[in-house]
Amino acid sequence: MKKLYAALMTAFDESGNIDEQGTREMVRYNIDVNQIDGLYVGGSTGENFMLGTAEKKRVFEIAIDEAKGSNIDLIAQVGSPNLHEAKELAKYVTDLGYETISAVTPFYYNFNFEEIKHYYDEIVKDVDTKLVVYSIPALTGVSLSLDNFAKLFENEKIIGVKYTNADFYLLERLRDRFPDKLILSGFDEMLLPALALDVDGAIGSTFNINAQKAKAEISAFEAGDIDKARKLQHESNDLITDLLNNGIYATLKLVLQELGVNAGYTREPMAKATPEVKAGAKKIYEKYFK
């Protein structure tokens, strides 16, 4: 069965400090209740790009410690426009016991492809872990072509891609050209078409609360029941629409609170949840989960 990964959230207290207990509770909820296949730690959903290096290390420590003995896959996202930090984090998580790392494409400075390739080669050069490229052009502004991926995959340590890209023509071409590479879909709202293009699984933020329905969709697809899979995707997309309209990160945490998980707050400059957002999150909980 194709694997489902939750993009782990980070709990913060009202002052913006990491809430260790809350973060542990989210790891446990994903393992014990969602029965997730894996966790993607330190990604966009974890508000990673607003954390300092020491804070990132602490999140990696919490996740692997709390997941100990659970037999789930853990992927540590170590990417950063600061290559020195990315390399430091790659070594750090390898020493912690992570077997797979990921790295977002370097962003902001309009790096050319040779600079991007150098970045990835450097991150994996001194570690034994395997790397999954994190491609999310809508947020980074970095689009990789089929030939770009081919050149990255020449490095045997680069085993695949977290593909958060709406270009499904490129996705089909990737799967056709690289049948043995790991391709994990990154858009929860497009899980079904990604499954149809033979991805190996999916990583997403809404799987923190919607994993059971997503897993049922994967099972229906693999059983050939496309009508059921389509119905489940429609229901998930109704939820995703409501989450997006209410402010997705704060709302995910508020729904988790309703589910008994101390998910904490978002970190500034993300806005604190207003009374209206809190009311909206409660309606979402009651509509979909009560």
The mean pLDDT value of the chain amounts to 98
Question: Which residue, among 195, 136, 180, 159, has the nearest Cα to 4 in the 3D structure?
Answer: 195
Residue 130 and residue 289: Cα distance in Å, rounded? 37
Domains and CATH numbers, the chain: 3-225 (3.20.20.70)
Residue 236 and residue 213: Cα distance in Å, rounded? 7
105 is in an annotated binding site: no
Residue 25 and residue 115: Cα distance in Å, rounded? 39
Residue 86 and residue 53: Cα distance in Å, rounded? 9
Is 279 within 8 Å of 287 (Cβ atoms)?
no
- With a CB cutoff of 8 Å and minimum separation 6, the contacts of 193 are 168
Rg (CA), the chain: 18
Residue 19 and residue 58: Cα distance in Å, rounded? 11
Residues taking part in catalysis: 134, 162
Position 230 scores a pLDDT of: 98
**Cα dist from 150 to 178, 183, 277, whole Å:** 8, 14, 44
Position 202 scores a pLDDT of: 98
Position 1 scores a pLDDT of: 83
Per-residue model confidence as pLDDT tens digits over 92-132:
999 999 999 999 999 999 999 999 999 999 999 999 999 99
Which helix (DSSP H) or strand (DSSP E) does residue 222 occupy? Answer: helix 207-222
Of all residues in the chain, the percent with pLDDT exceeding 90 is: 99
203 is in an annotated binding site: yes
- With a CB cutoff of 8 Å and minimum separation 6, the contacts of 73 are 3, 5, 37, 38, 39, 100
Is the pTM higher than 0.85? The answer reads: yes
Q: Which DSSP string corresponds to 137-203?
A: HHHH-----HHHHHHHTTSTTEEEEEE--S-HHHHHHHHHH-TTSEEEE--GGGHHHHHHTT-SEEE
**Cα dist from 21 to 28, 31, 32, 246, whole Å:** 10, 15, 16, 26
DSSP state of 274: P
Low-confidence ranges of the chain (pLDDT < 70): none
By CB atoms closer than 10 A (0-12, 13-18, 19+), residue 169 is: exposed
- Alpha-carbon dihedral 185, 108, 144, 52, rounded to 10 degrees: -40
Per-residue model confidence as pLDDT tens digits over 63-96:
999 999 999 999 999 999 999 999 999 999 999 9
Q: Residue 248 corresponds to which amino acid?
A: I
